């Protein structure tokens, strides 16, 4: 198991779009040395290349502080 950051995903997507699946698999293996199987690396590179970046949160778009809303206001721990 490994965690793919947005920066990793963007780099893999860019390589996939510019140079193809094999190069994206090599980039994935470069970033995640624990991935040793080329077949799995190619499948994961295809999966990551298909991801779309998450939309910006409303807080960052409108530049307002986000607050946490309590689901049960009367319960304090």
Q: 52: domain range?
A: 6-62
Tell me whether residue 75 is in a domain. no
Tell me whether residue 69 is in a domain. no
Tell me whether residue 17 is in a domain. yes
Overall domain count for the chain: 1
Tell me whether residue 68 is in a domain. no
The chain-wide mean pLDDT, for the chain, equals 85
Tell me whether residue 31 is in a domain. yes
Cβ atoms of 68 and 48 within 8 Å: the answer is: no
Per-residue pLDDT tens for 21-46? 999 999 999 999 999 999 999 999 99
Report the predicted TM-score, pTM, of the whole model to 2 decimal places.
0.69
Tell me whether residue 30 is in a domain. yes
- Tell me what the mean pLDDT of segment 8-24 comes to: 96
């Amino acid at each position: 198991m490994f965690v793919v950051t947005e920066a990793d995903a963007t780099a893999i997507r860019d390589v996939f779009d510019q140079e193809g699946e094999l190069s994206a698999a090599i980039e994935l293996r470069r970033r995640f040395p624990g991935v040793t199987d080329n077949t799995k690396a190619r499948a994961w590179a295809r999966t990551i290349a298909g991801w779309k970046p998450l939309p910006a949160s409303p807080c960052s778009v409108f530049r307002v502080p986000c607050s946490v809303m309590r689901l049960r206001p009367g319960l304090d721990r």
